[in-house]
Amino acid sequence: MTKNLKSLFIIQWVLFSSLIFYLSSQSYFPIIPQDILNQDKIIHLLLYTAYGLSSMFFIFAIIKDKKNMIKVYFIAILLAVVFAASDEFHQSFVPNRTCDIFDFLTDVIGILFSIYFFKLILKKFKLN
């Protein structure tokens, strides 16, 4: 893996994590139609599928042992799940937001879905 690609994988994860934290800090979203916001489980599923994928590329970039992909999956999933839990906890301090176990469970399902997409991407671009 080239140094530029490795840097890109690390930077994208930091930016994505920051974006989720920022969005979770907002009390409301005036530019997003309410009917979309009412589908919050779908939003959580899609966002955390992407975040899980982002985390896998991040861990893939920093772990030297590419032959042990189980380690990459385990650490990336653990990292993303801990982030999702901390994100829900963080929302409990934001006015008009709540800590919701069902949001967290949806986040975890999205993170687990990301394994499938990560494997497809690795195969398609021959990154492993």
pLDDT > 90 in the chain, percent: 75
The C-alpha angle with vertex 12 and arms to 53 and 54, in degrees rounded to 5, equals: 10
Number of domains in the chain: 1
Q: Give the per-residue pLDDT at 2.
A: 85
The Cα–Cα gap between 55 and 62 comes to: 11
pTM: 0.92
Q: List the one residue out of 78, 85, 41 whose CA is nearest residue 56.
A: 78
Question: Which positions ≥6 away from 11 have C-beta within 8 Å?
Answer: none
Residue-wise pLDDT for 26-46, tens only, equals 998 777 777 776 788 999 999
What is residue 97's DSSP assignment? -
Phi, psi of 92 (to 5 degrees): -65, -15
pLDDT > 70 in the chain, percent: 98
Q: List the one residue out of 50, 48, 55 whose CA is nearest residue 104.
A: 48
Q: Give the per-residue pLDDT at 68.
A: 84
Q: Give the per-residue pLDDT at 37.
A: 65
Domain span including residue 101: 3-125
